[in-house]
Amino acid sequence: QVQLQESGPGLVKPSQTLSLTCTVSGDSISSSDYYWSWIRHHPGKGLEWIGYIFNSGSTYYNPSLKSRVTMSIDTSKNQFSLKLTSLTAADTAMYYCATERPAGIINYWGQGTLVTVSS
């Protein structure tokens, strides 16, 4: 069974860049056919799919965030990462990494990491 663990800063200042990493265990990023995804949950609101990266490095980002998002993958560490630039308070959310099957089914999730954007 795949396990995922997010890591990164809990507090980031407005206008700065958020960097999160997801460490994968129980599967190899380089050989898996999953998409490696990021999803966030705004307090009191719904879940928002941010995007995914495949082990080839190909990516797909939510058009609403595309201009600010970069995802990368490090097969040597079995990790994938998210960078989100130009943060505002609206980016305050619980951020989850997840595995996604090609049909868009999110079959494994991390426990999430809370990111607060505040000065």
Partner 1 sequence: DIQMTQSPSSLSASVGDRVTITCRASQSISNSLNWYQHKPGKAPKLLIYAASSLRSGVPSRFTGSGSGTDFTLTISSLQPEDFATYYCQQSYNTPGTFGQGTKLEIK
Q: Which positions lie near partner 1, rule CB under 8 A?
A: 4, 45-49, 51, 60, 62-64, 96, 103-112
Nearest residue to 51 (alpha-carbon basis) of 15, 100, 6, 92: 100
Q: Give the residue with the Cβ less far from partner 1, 18 or 50.
A: 50
E-strand ranges in the chain read 3-7, 11-12, 18-25, 35-41, 47-53, 59-61, 69-74, 79-84, 93-100, 106-109, 113-117
Closer of 16 and 60 to partner 1 (Cβ): 60
Q: Shortest approach of partner 1 to residue 23 CB, angstroms?
A: 14
Instruction: Work out how close the CB of 44 gets to partner 1 at its nearest, in angstroms, rounded to a whole number.
Output: 10
14 versus 26: smaller Cβ distance to partner 1: 26
